[in-house]
Amino acid sequence: MTRRRTARLRRTLLAGITAIAVTAVTAGIVAAAQEPAKAATGPELSLVAATTSVTLTTWKEEPGVYLDLGTYLIAEGTPLELKVTRKSYKDPVTVTQTVYEGGKTKAKKLPTGTVKDFSGLPGFSEITLTDKAGKKVLTRSESFCPNNASGRVRPDAPSTSKYPESCSTNPFTLGSVWGVEKGWAANTYAGSYTEPVQLSAGTYTAKVGVAKKYRDLFGIADEAATVKVTVVERSDEDEESTTEAVPRSAKAGEHAGHGAGHQAPTAHAGHGPGHAPAPAEAAAPVTSGAGPSYNVGHGPLKAAPPALPWALKKKQTSALSPQAGDIGGQTDGSRQAPALKPLSKRPAGRPSVPDVPKPDLRSLPAYGITIGDGGKDIPGKDYLAFSANVWNAGPAQLVVDGFRSPGKANMDAFQYFYDAKGKQVGYTPTGTMEWDPRPGHVHWHFTDFASYRLLKADKKEAVRSGKEAFCLANTDAIDYTVKNANWHPYNTDLATACGEENSISVREVLDVGSGDTYTQDLPGQSFDITGVPNGTYYIQVLANPEKRLKETNLDNNSALRKIVLGGKPGKRTVTVPAHDLVNAN
């Protein structure tokens, strides 16, 4: 069977790749207490190469090399912490750095234009490749997400990083937190956010440095890391002859578990020294939304780089610096999601809606808007497909349990409420859950969570999408700066949240700060515009349309995205104007 390299390199990962904490056993580590800082200080940052040589692969059928060179940014003394926000879609994205002063933290605003979106620091690393003759064959720069897969570089570093595990690519993100924990290193490789380069088989020398504006901004030394690069050419025929007897999920470099059954993603395998990261499978192709797809999750997040395979630094120091306290309820990475296991039996007693914090569901404007047809299955049709996200601005989680009566097809759904200490103090019936057997779903859907409507220019309804039932998963970090935001939600994909066909109960949680993106390729998520006249319309994403869920605010559940339909039957077109400063379809 032919291996699909491009597909693997583009795998949709809904869960951020869990950071692997690897203890560095390095001779000469000296623990030395540091005097409390009298002035605001930032982290001591340095760029290192984890190895002096790497071997990368180019494929004969589809030439191209991904430059995973094994370089890392190390934070010593204090963490590198950045908060990236925008007040609204009419305002630019700004970034502040958390610095430390006398045991307390303060915010230092970085220059306007430092970042343009929430995907990382643009143009952070600068890469130069020369061949054996010393001739320069490549110069490029790459963005850097501080939340990239990382690991410890000394044994006294925190055992886990409090920071999120990826950077957001959702065009309507409102707030992110990026960080490299102290004593940790973050991979500077941008993964599948980058494009491959064309290199012939042979040996090269790579020099990787940090752009001057970031060296000046963060006080990073002007010291490039040097790595020997060996490029080898392989072919599908080679792979078939050596892996014919090996199951696909077990082949080196494959992610196991992302089959049609929606199993949870496993750790990366086969990350020995100098190997490229496990390639990723493609996100489902853009379709009309009318036919089936095999998108195992909702969100369009791309693969992150692999976790740090080992820790390496010749000279180590230990700086025991003051840190911000991880106080419960604060947006500092201290919160952890509760277990997703539903209660053993359906609630008993009188339902009640206590006066405790509740979730606040909000919709993002639609994006990923495209025109398609019904193909061979539904000829003569025009469809308008789109991606949509409903998120939870908090300050409490949305927790919904479904319970199945033996022999019945549907589950009864209940919303649960918790006090400030996490104790359940009430519940209320809130509809049903139904099993969706269609390819691309194959899980339990909570009904009436959201509604999609195509509105005419006068805001009156023209078409309504047939999709109104959803499995809740925290696919996108929409605003991790809101109160009680959880930077490490558990149910980030369909495997952890949506149950099996024979499940007797299911718990679905939408955590604070996160949203659930349903991409335009999922079946049923589209408008049939075959008989809809050309003109101006609005795609409405409406959360909690029947108001069954109890929220802190019901007045912010709707989001509109303006579009203009044109063309002729069978060749319809759609124009999507910018939404304030967000010029993303």
pLDDT at 343: 67
Higher pLDDT, residue 168 or 361: 361
Rounded to an integer, the average pLDDT of 427-445 is 76
Rounded to an integer, the average pLDDT of 127-143 is 95
Q: Say whether pLDDT at 420 is over 90.
A: no
Rounded to an integer, the average pLDDT of 391-401 is 93
Rounded to an integer, the average pLDDT of 392-419 is 88
pLDDT at 285: 32
pLDDT at 113: 93
Instruction: Give me the residues paired with residue 412 across strands.
Output: 403, 432
pLDDT at 446: 83
Give 212-215 contacts, CB < 8 A, sequence gap 24+: 214/121, 214/124
Rounded to an integer, the average pLDDT of 325-330 is 36
Q: Say whether pLDDT at 521 is over 90.
A: no
CB of 234 within 8 A of CB of 57?
A: yes
Give Cα separations from 155 to 48, 87, 183 (angstroms). Answer: 18, 40, 8
Least Cα distance to 324 among 584, 59, 23, 99 occurs for: 99
Q: Say whether pLDDT at 29 is over 50.
A: no
At residue 335's C-alpha, the angle toward residues 329 and 336, to 5°, is 145
Cα radius of gyration rounded to whole Å, the chain: 25
pLDDT at 255: 27
- Lowest average pLDDT, out of 3-12, 124-133, 460-469, 500-509, goes to 3-12
Banded model confidence at residue 48, pLDDT cuts 50, 70, 90? very high
pLDDT at 69: 93
Higher pLDDT, residue 380 or 300: 380
Q: Say whether pLDDT at 359 is over 90.
A: yes
Q: What is the mean pLDDT of the chain?
A: 75
Q: Say whether pLDDT at 183 is over 80.
A: yes
Q: What is the pLDDT of residues 522-569, one digit of tens each?
A: 656 789 999 999 999 999 999 999 899 999 999 999 999 999 999 999
Alpha carbon distance 377, 537 (integer Å): 27
Rounded to an integer, the average pLDDT of 131-155 is 91
pLDDT at 407: 76
Q: Say whether pLDDT at 10 is over 50.
A: no
pLDDT at 241: 55
pLDDT at 482: 95
Banded model confidence at residue 247, pLDDT cuts 50, 70, 90? very low
Banded model confidence at residue 499, pLDDT cuts 50, 70, 90? low
Rounded to an integer, the average pLDDT of 354-383 is 88
Least Cα distance to 156 among 33, 17, 257, 336 occurs for: 33
pTM of the model: 0.76
Most confident by average pLDDT, 364-378, 438-452, 549-563: 549-563
pLDDT at 515: 92
Higher pLDDT, residue 69 or 313: 69
Rounded to an integer, the average pLDDT of 35-50 is 72
Q: What is the pLDDT of residues 91-107, one digit of tens each?
A: 999 999 999 887 788 99
pLDDT at 33: 32
With a pLDDT cut of 90, the percent of the chain lying above it is 46
Cβ burial, residue 420 (10 Å; 0-12/13-18/19+):
exposed
pLDDT at 211: 97
Strand order in the sheet with 80-85: 104-109, 94-101, 80-85, 175-180
Q: Say whether pLDDT at 197 is over 70.
A: yes
Structure tokens at 493: 């994909």
